[in-house]
Amino acid sequence: MSVLARSVGNAFRNKIRTAAVVAVLAVAIGLALAMLVANQAVGAKVQELNASVGTTLTVNPAGGQGFEGGGEPLTTAEAETAASVANVTAVVGTKALRLQTATTADSSTATTQPGPGGGFGPGGQQATVSTNLMAAVDAGTLGNRNGSAGTTGATGTSGTTTQPSRTLPITATGIGAEVDGTGKALDITSGTGLGDYTASEAKALVGTSLAEKNSLTVGSTFTIQDKTFTVAGIFDAGTTFGNNAVYVTLPEAQTLAETPDELSTMIVTVNSMENVDSTKTAVQAALGTDKADVTQGQRNLETAVSSLDSVKNISLIAFIAALATAGIIILLIMVMLVRERRREIGVLKAIGARNRTIGLQFVLESLVLVALGSVVGAVIASLASGGIASALISSNTTTTAATTTQRGGGLAGAMPNGAVPGGGMPGGGMGGGQGGPFGGASQLLTSVTASVSPGVLAAGIAAVFAVAIIGALVPALLTARIRPIEVLRGE
């Protein structure tokens, strides 16, 4: 009878005990695999955050944040200065435009043709120009309410005041690279990019909803300030507001605004999150506090990443603990089996069986038990890993959020009328709005998806088998201490 066949037969010699051992192992292995899956999912999310918005700085004109701000505009020369700072990997200049639909009314109303200049937006940095495009977002109640503030309407014969109809503007941005306003790569769904973003060329990228509203496809044309632009590509920003937008090259936007070499903002990318704070200080010093305001646009993401790192460490420790538990279970079971089978081991050694053969028999028997436990444990992990990851993240987020609130509470309560720095609006993700103390970071924390992949399961089961072998070797070595003459004399 082969060693393998004998090992399998011994594993099922006592079916009730085998079932109990497999059940206990399944729980330990399932918990270990679930923690490994959670660890991998959280680690992937941390890498995603660190590689995207977590390492960007935003540079605005000093005093230019907020609709009432002022200051002097930034220039392309200052972008070159920022690019020379240590740990800066890229600097992308932007020029903001506000496209207003040119409307032709009846005889009582003249044609509206906004010209360059004007100051809607941070520090008056958004030049208002005309376009034949129709905005993809209807004004609605909020748009008309905001548009009526400070506007005097016409008075009819009944004495009532009627407000002019409200047409929302279209966001246009001149950009120096194929990225959005946060430094993330644009998701172009059809067509291509603009090619050389430093060249003045009448091509544009159009948001999906804006393209649909105006029946635009790749190759279609539209006008901005009486100049014809060709749609090179269509992008998806993921939001209705973000898709009501147009991107053109930076020089083209500067020409349309009649402000050559001027920038509305600069997006500075740092090589790693660890260098963000020091680089922010260095960029601020290089540009001067009287010329530019340097901010980390997603500062609350540091809290999110820190919280996710804590969850990652907890899940790793739990994985190691569950793995060690499985190893201890195997060790105790094998020690018990060796003691039970002393007579059998003595007889085998008396008839010439080697210690190595007998020890291999116990190792294979333990692996059979672990294999059965791993199958059941994998099922448990696939069902429980998502819930375990969510529970760990939810618990850690609640604790950190409470600490943040005790330190300073939401930002909205500290600003007039609930506004937030940078022209933000109440409830807009920072401060005491729906984002809570974390702002958008809390949503990022709960967006971690723990999916059980074959690779992760294979790695976890391999680790379990390695621990099982180690746990079985100790009792296997005990068989070498059993002397056949002592066992037979006892009989």
Q: Locate the domains of the chain by residue range.
A: 3-51+304-408+429-490, 63-142+165-290
pLDDT value at residue 78: 92
pLDDT value at residue 203: 93
Mark out the alpha helices in 149-275 (DSSP H runs). 208-213, 250-256
To the nearest whole percent, how much of the chain has pLDDT over 70?
Answer: 68
Query: If we measure between CA atoms, which residue out of 165, 238, 271, 236 comes closest to residue 440?
Result: 238
Q: Is the pLDDT of residue 85 over 60?
A: yes
**Tens digit of each residue's pLDDT (9 = 90 or more) over 198-245:** 888 899 999 999 999 999 999 999 999 889 999 999 999 888 888 899
Residues 6 or more apart in contact with residue 58 via CB below 8 angstroms = 265, 266, 267, 268, 294, 295, 296, 297
Quick one: how many helices (H) and strands (E) in the chain? 13, 15
CA gap 423, 63 in Å, rounded: 12
Q: Which of 310-314, 335-339, 426-430 has the lowest mean pLDDT?
A: 426-430
At position 426, the amino acid (one-letter code) is P
pLDDT value at residue 107: 36
**Tens digit of each residue's pLDDT (9 = 90 or more) over 126-169:** 677 889 999 888 877 766 666 555 444 444 444 444 455 556 78
**Tens digit of each residue's pLDDT (9 = 90 or more) over 260-289:** 888 988 989 888 877 888 999 999 999 998
Q: Is the pLDDT of residue 344 over 50?
A: yes
Q: Please indicate whether residue 54 or residue 67 has the higher confidence score (pLDDT).
A: 54
Q: Please indicate whether residue 244 or residue 9 has the higher confidence score (pLDDT).
A: 244
Q: What is the mean pLDDT of the chain?
A: 74
CA gap 102, 247 in Å, rounded: 19
CA gap 207, 188 in Å, rounded: 9
Q: Is the pLDDT of residue 120 over 50?
A: no
Angstrom CA distances, 122 to 68, 70, 274, 290, stand at 7, 8, 29, 16
